[in-house]
Chain A
Amino acid sequence: MLISTFIIWSCSNESVDRYSPTPNPLRIPQLFQDKILNPILPPNNPQTIEGIALGKKLFFDPILSGDNTQACADCHTPENAFTDIDRFSKGIDGSIGKRNSMPIFNLAWNYDEKFFWDGRVFSLEHQAFRPVTDPTEMKSTWNQVTQKLQEHPDYPSLFQQAFGSRSIDSILVTKAIAQFERTLISSNSKFDNFLLGKATLTAEEQNGFNVFMDETKGDCFHCHGSDNNPLWTDNLFHNNGLDATFTDLGLGKFTGDPADNGKFKTPSLRNLAFTAPYMHDGRFATLEEVINHYSEGLKHSSTIDPLMKKVAQGGVQLSNEDKADLKSFLLSLSDYEFVNNPNFKNQ
């Protein structure tokens, strides 16, 4: 009896504030549908039009930073497939982080839900807590942020529409941001269209793909996906032979297991045209440097992945032609529609 009264009461209360978010499920691209498992969608944070719109507004709003100067989008810009062009991004007070910003796309398909270069955070929602308080990034506190949002002329009613509550807390902020991030789907590169029979590869791109897939040449597919895995990453952690000794322990710092030292998350190879510089510390400015690394720059260390070949000689020594073709192929994975999509831009 008491409960039903309560429900009636709360329902009437809701109808006053009109809480009826519109479901807006992710549109799963055909190749993803065909080749890989469904994305991870937490049941307690369903995608809604209102939630996504709010998440987008928050993502582009410097209100989340300590001095209202920096938004998520400053280090994750749409033109750069949601990373930035700096080797290390600058926080609000000019301090510099230790790692290269990461692009944001297809993250709902990160099945293990381990985020950051070292996988130290579980789930997109939890990830979004971090930058706000990170002293080398937005350097704020959640108290400050929620207070500013609460006092803002628009936000309380936007939260009401998205989540049925005018009272803003960090959990709802991160839920909204995660909803927006899940909509950042990239699946329209030239290579995708080739796989769908809608584009043809140049001879160079085709040979580059063969180098990528050939175990005696690039052998990139064991970690970076293939025509059968359109994510172009295994979402796992490896040491790809960048250093003989480590300044950044990567996964090992998080797990405490020395066997994980120097391991970092395999990045997706989509959108490389927009995401330079490369690697966790942005050490390579160009794809040529990356390819030269795999071809002749490998450094031995105890945790180097056994998939790295001919390490004593520095790598598999690709010919100049294979290198150039490999680069052409890699660039065919870039999705120009994604970086120009008006839905993903601040306007």
Chain B
Amino acid sequence: MNKTVSIVVLFFTIFLSCHTDNDDKANNTTVSFNFSHHWDGTPVTNQDFNVIKFTNENGEQLSIERLRYLISDITFTKQSGEVLKTNDYNLVDVTNGENLTFTPTMIIPSGIYSKVSFTFGFKNEKNTDAVYQDLNIASWFVPAMLGGGYHYMQFDGKFINSSSIEQGFNYHAIRAVDTSGSEPIFPQDTFIIVNLGPVTISNDSTFNIEMNIAEWFKNPNTWDLNTYNQMLMPNTTAQIMMFENGQNAFSLKSIE
């Protein structure tokens, strides 16, 4: 097996070195994406869950009990404009500490890229109802009455409400939908394209992506959990606010 691999690698190396190209000595690399989380700078893992210990921009104290989100369409754009894209998706499950690292099935030639990006959630054409078996058993689907497809994020916890009572919240991001008519209609796209900026790849590398969880409550909309806590999936306004607040939730911390 190992022999085959090295023969194949050897073959490609020879092949590639004969091939005349601008990026002379491009070697193929594997990239991984590592997802970590913080609350305005304080690291957050599932060890920090289930306790009221965070305070959001609006001053509400809250806990995190469940945090999962979907990322898809990792895309590398070359300076020439050529685009390398993966079809995979990954359900980051912070609650269970699963899929925090994701290695898409794509080979990235070393070189300079003007942009690396991924999608938070699914683009509409991929957000097809019922088709992803692993997501179906993860209770990740969106009811057909809300247009079907899948959740983008499921963020559940409890907060102290204005009557000083502990209450649940379900910050579930989906494709914004308006169900006031007979058929669901989609007022605007709410998946988020996260642009990690230009990068240079020379070897196999790991992108360390951070999510600042506090951002979801902050900017530009100061989130009032007393108003928006549960039943937010059919709430078009809430979905659009989530989309707006999510714009700066992710950042590229480093590449190793």
Chain A interface residues (CB < 8 Å from chain B): 34-37, 111, 210, 213-216, 219, 221-223, 225-229, 231, 234-235, 259, 300, 302-312
Contact = CB atoms under 8 A, between A and B. Distances in A.
Contacts of A37: 133-134, 137
B130 interface: yes
B139 A221 contact: yes
Chain B, interface size category, equals 20 to 34
Interface SS of chain B: helix, strand, loop or mixed? Answer: mixed
Given A111-B137, A222-B139, A228-B129, 20 more contacts: A35-B136, A37-B133, A213-B143, A215-B230, A216-B234, A226-B141, A226-B143, A227-B130, A227-B144, A228-B136, A229-B137, A259-B49, A300-B166, A304-B168, A305-B168, A306-B66, A307-B156, A307-B170, A309-B231, A311-B168
Q: Is the interface of A mostly helix, strand, loop or mixed?
A: loop
- Choose among A35, A305, A306 the residue with the greatest number of B CB atoms under 10 Å from its CB: A306
B152 interface: no
B254 to A, nearest CB: 32
A210 B232 CA distance: 17
B168 A309 contact: yes
A229 B66 CA distance: 20
B231 A216 contact: yes
Q: Which of B65, B143, B232 has the most CB of A within 10 A?
A: B143
Contacts of B138: 234
A306 B130 contact: no
Nearest to B233: A215
B165 interface: yes
A251 to B, nearest CB: 13
A306 B139 contact: no
Given A300-B166, A312-B167, A229 B141 contact: yes
B169 A306 contact: yes
B129 to A, nearest CB: 8
Nearest to B154: A222
B143 A308 contact: no
Interface in B213-256: 230-234
B163 to A, nearest CB: 8
A303 B169 CA distance: 13
A306 B157 CA distance: 6
A228 B250 CA distance: 30
B137 A307 contact: no
Interface string B45-68: 000011000000000000001100
Contacts of A310: 230
A221 B144 CA distance: 12
Given A311-B168, A312-B165, A36 B133 contact: yes
Contacts of A312: 165, 167
B133 A234 contact: no
30 contacts: A34-B130, A35-B136, A36-B136, A37-B133, A111-B137, A214-B143, A214-B145, A216-B234, A221-B141, A221-B143, A222-B139, A228-B130, A228-B136, A229-B136, A229-B137, A229-B139, A234-B138, A235-B137, A300-B166, A302-B166, A305-B168, A306-B65, A306-B66, A306-B157, A306-B168, A307-B168, A309-B230, A311-B167, A311-B168, A312-B167
A228 B169 CA distance: 24
Nearest to A222: B139
A235 B139 CA distance: 10
Nearest to B150: A228
A312 B156 CA distance: 17
Given A226-B141, A229-B137, A259-B49, A308 B233 contact: no
Closest 4 CB pairs of A and B: A306-B168, A259-B50, A213-B143, A306-B156
B158 interface: yes
Contacts of B139: 221-223, 225, 229, 234
B168 to A, nearest CB: 3
Contacts of A215: 143, 146, 230-234
Contacts of B156: 305-307
Interface string B121-140: 00000000110011011110
B140 to A, nearest CB: 9
B77 to A, nearest CB: 34
Interface in B1-58: 49-50
A238 to B, nearest CB: 10
Nearest to B50: A259
A114 B77 CA distance: 44
Contacts of B136: 35-36, 228-229
Contacts of B141: 221, 226, 228-229
A17 to B, nearest CB: 38
Nearest to A260: B50
A303 B168 CA distance: 10
B170 to A, nearest CB: 6
A161 B49 CA distance: 52
Nearest to A302: B166
A47 B44 CA distance: 45
Contacts of A309: 168, 230-231
A323 B107 CA distance: 54
Nearest to B129: A228
A310 B167 CA distance: 8
Interface in B153-195: 156-158, 165-170
A222 B65 CA distance: 15
B99 to A, nearest CB: 15
Contacts of B129: 228
